[in-house]
Amino acid sequence: MPLRKNILENSSNVIILGIITLGFLLRFIGSVNLPLNSDERGDAKVARQISFTPGKLSLPLVEKDSEDDAGTLSHRYLIRLGWYLFGESNLGARLPFVILGTCTIFVTYIIVKLTLGVPVALLASFLLSIDQFHIGISRVTDYNSPHLLFVVLSLSLFYRALSTSSNKLFILNSLVLGLGFWVKETMLFLIPIYIIYLFFYSGEKKYFKNKWVWGTFLSSFLIMLIPVLLIISVPDLPRIKYIIADTKIGLSLNALSLYLGELILVIIKPLKSLFEYVVVAMSTEIPTENFIFGIVILFSVIHSFRSKNTFIKLLLVCFLFNFLIFSIIRKIDRIDSIWSLSSFTWSSLGFIPGIIIASYTIIIFIRKYFYSGTILLFSLILFMFIRTWDIVTYPIPAYFPARNFCIWELQSSLDVLGFPDSDKIRSITDVRLLKSVYLVAQNRPEYKQAAALRIAEIMIQRGSPQEAWPYLYSVFLRDPDNEEAVNLGKRILSY
C-alpha cells in the first residue's frame, strides 16, 4: 500500500491535469449540445442592460418590470463578461460558468490534498469532474456553479484559519462569505454551520473567545448587507417576494431528491398522475444526482459519524445542517403535496462536502479491502460515466426517466426560435433542436411527426440516408400513407 501511495503522489500533478481536462471537456461539450433554456433567456435579457461604458453606466439590480425574478445578481454580470471575452452567443455566455465549474474541481483537489491527503484529493476531484449534477449546473448560466466554488473556498479558509490560528485567513474568509452571498443567499447558512462546529467539538471551543472569529462573522454580515440594503430600496422587489411568499415550513424532499431523485422517479413511475406532477415540479434543466452515487454519499455520511478527523467533522456539520434545513423548507405548490422537488438546487450547499466525505470513506474501504474496494470503485466510476456521458450528449435538458414527460421543455425550445406551432418546425435547421422536439413529444404527435420528417430530410440532404430511416419508420407507424414520408423513402431508395 505505501508503494501505491507513493506512485499516486509522484504522479499527482499529471493525474490532476488529466482530471481537470476531462472535467472541462465534459462541461464544454454539454454547453455546446444543450439548447437555450427559459432561465437563460431571462438572465440574458438582464445582462444586455449591463454597461460599464463611461457616460452610459448601467448596473441593474433586477430585471426591469419583472414580476417573477427568481435569479440572483452576480451571475448576470458573468454572462456579460462571457460575451465580452468570447462573443455574444449562448456558448459565450456559458463559458465563464464552465470555467468556474472546472476551477471548483482544482480547488477541491488542493483543499482535500492539504487536509486528507493525495489519494482522497484525486478521487474527490475525479468524482466531481464526472458528476452529472455538477456538470448540469456548470454547463449553463446557473448561479450554482460559482456558488459551489465559494462554498468550498469558505470551508477551506475557515478550517485552515482554525488550524493555523491565522487572523489573515479569518479576514479573507469573511470576504469570501460576503461575496458568496451575492451569488446565492444560502452562503448565509455557513455562519451557523461554523458556530455549531465550534460548539460541538470541544477542541475548537476556545475560538468562542477569539475576536477574529466573531469579527469574521460580523464583517461577513456587513458585506452581505451592502447588496441587501441596495435590493430592499427597490419597491416590491420580486426576489424578496419569490423567496418569502413562495416557501413554507413543511415536510419536503428537496435535500433527498438531490441525491436520490432518479430513484424516486423510478419508484413512483407506475403512479402516472403523481409521476407527471413530480416531473413538472422538478427542474429538468439540471439533472439530479444519479441514485447510485447518491446512495454512496448518504452511506458515507452515516459512516463518518465515527470519524475523528476534524476536517471531516466540519464537512459533516455542513452536510447535515443543509440536509435538515431543506428537508423542512418546501415550496408552496399548486396542489398540497409533500413532493416538493422543484427547488432541490437550494440544498446543494452540502453537495461537495458530501463528495469529499464519500471519497474519504471509499479510500478507507479500499485500504482495508483492496481488491473488493477497487472493483466497487471502478464499477461506481463506470456507472457514473455512462450516466454523465448520456447527460452531456443528450440534446435536451432532461434526464432518465423523465424525458418523455417533459412537454413544457419542448414548448420552451420552440419558443426560443419563435415557433409556436408545428407547421413551422420544418424551417428549423438545427438537428439537435429537432431531435429534442422528436424525443419529448410523446403526447404531441403533430410535433413528433413534423420533427421526424424534417430530420429525415436533413439526413438525406447530408448524404446520410440510413440515419433517416428510423425517423421515417416512426411516421409510417402512425400514418402509413403519409405522402411526404413516401417521397423521402423513395429518395433514399434511389441512392
Cβ within 8 Å of residue 376, ≥6 positions away: 365
User: pLDDT digits over 17-34, tens only?
Assistant: 999 999 999 999 988 877
For the chain, give the percent of residues with pLDDT over 90: 30
- Helix (H), strand (E) counts: the chain: 23, 2
**SS3 of the chain: helix, strand, coil, percent, to 5:** 75, 0, 25
* φ, ψ for residue 425, nearest 5 deg: -60, -35
Position 1 pLDDT exceeds 70: no
Tell me which of 379 and 240 has the higher pLDDT. Answer: 379
From 75-79, 123-127, 266-270, 295-299, the region with the lowest mean pLDDT = 266-270
For the chain, give the percent of residues with pLDDT over 70: 75
Q: Could you give the CA distance from residue 268 to residue 460 in angstroms, rounded to a whole number?
A: 41
Dihedral angle over CA of 475, 478, 479, 480, nearest 10: 80
**CA 266 to centroid of chain Cα atoms:** 21
Confidence of residue 380 (pLDDT cuts 50, 70, 90): very high
Position 335 pLDDT exceeds 50: no
Q: What is the DSSP letter of 61?
A: S
Amino acid sitting at position 472: L
Confidence of residue 212 (pLDDT cuts 50, 70, 90): low
Residue 206 grid coordinates: 476556545
User: In Å, how far are 223, 301, 349, 351, 404 from 147, measured between CA atoms?
Assistant: 16, 22, 8, 11, 31
Position 319 pLDDT exceeds 90: yes
Tell me the mean pLDDT in the region 198-227. 67
Cβ within 8 Å of residue 136, ≥6 positions away: 30, 285, 286, 287, 391
Tell me the mean pLDDT in the region 238-257. 72
Position 227 pLDDT exceeds 70: no
Domain residue ranges in the chain: 406-493
Tell me the mean pLDDT in the region 125-134. 95
Position 329 pLDDT exceeds 70: yes
pLDDT recorded at residue 338? 46
pLDDT recorded at residue 336? 46
Burial class for 164, CB neighbours closer than 10 Å (0-12, 13-18, 19+): exposed
pLDDT recorded at residue 194? 87
From 30-39, 82-91, 405-414, the region with the lowest mean pLDDT = 405-414
- Dihedral sign computed on CA atoms, order 256, 260, 261, 264: negative
To the nearest whole number, what is the mean pLDDT of the chain?
80
From 77-81, 233-237, 355-359, 427-431, the region with the lowest mean pLDDT = 233-237
pLDDT recorded at residue 372? 93
Q: What is the largest CA-CA distance in the chain?
A: 85
User: pLDDT digits over 140-158, tens only?
Assistant: 888 899 999 999 999 999 8
Tell me the mean pLDDT in the region 244-251. 71
| Residue 15 near residue 109, CB atoms below 8 Å | no
pLDDT recorded at residue 323? 94
Confidence of residue 416 (pLDDT cuts 50, 70, 90): low
Residue 68 grid coordinates: 417573477
pLDDT recorded at residue 381? 95
Q: Could you give the CA distance from residue 446 to residue 10 in angstroms, rounded to a whole number?
A: 60
